[in-house]
Amino acid sequence: MTQHFDNLLETPFLFYLSILVILILQRVDVWYLSLAWLYIASRFIHAWIDMGSNHIIRRKNAFLTGYVLIFTIWVRLLIQLVID
């Protein structure tokens, strides 16, 4: 159970920071909102798998999906900042 809560607190810091930067720079749009909600869904799926069947491959895929979504948010933000 402790590991479960540790996992829930590892990637959200990057997520919260990205949301804060997007809000400060006033870059909110449909794409960021969609990516953010998909990230949140991936965290719920990861927690559901972890607390339920704990199928390692499925849990890993949900976790990696969250990382890819955060990476996509940051890359999109950096590209927008370079272009402007």
Q: CA 54 to CA 69: how far, in whole Å?
A: 22
pLDDT in tens, 31-40: 999 999 999 9
- Residue 27 is given by DSSP the state -
Query: What is the dihedral sign for C-alpha 32, 33, 35, 39?
Result: positive
Q: How confident is the model at residue 61 (pLDDT cuts 50, 70, 90)?
A: very high
Q: Where are the alpha helices (DSSP H) in 1-84?
A: 2-10, 12-24, 30-51, 56-83
pLDDT in tens, 1-52: 566 666 666 778 899 999 999 999 999 999 999 999 999 999 999 889 988 9
Q: Report the candidate in 18, 2, 16, 7 with the shortest Cα–Cα distance to residue 76.
A: 18
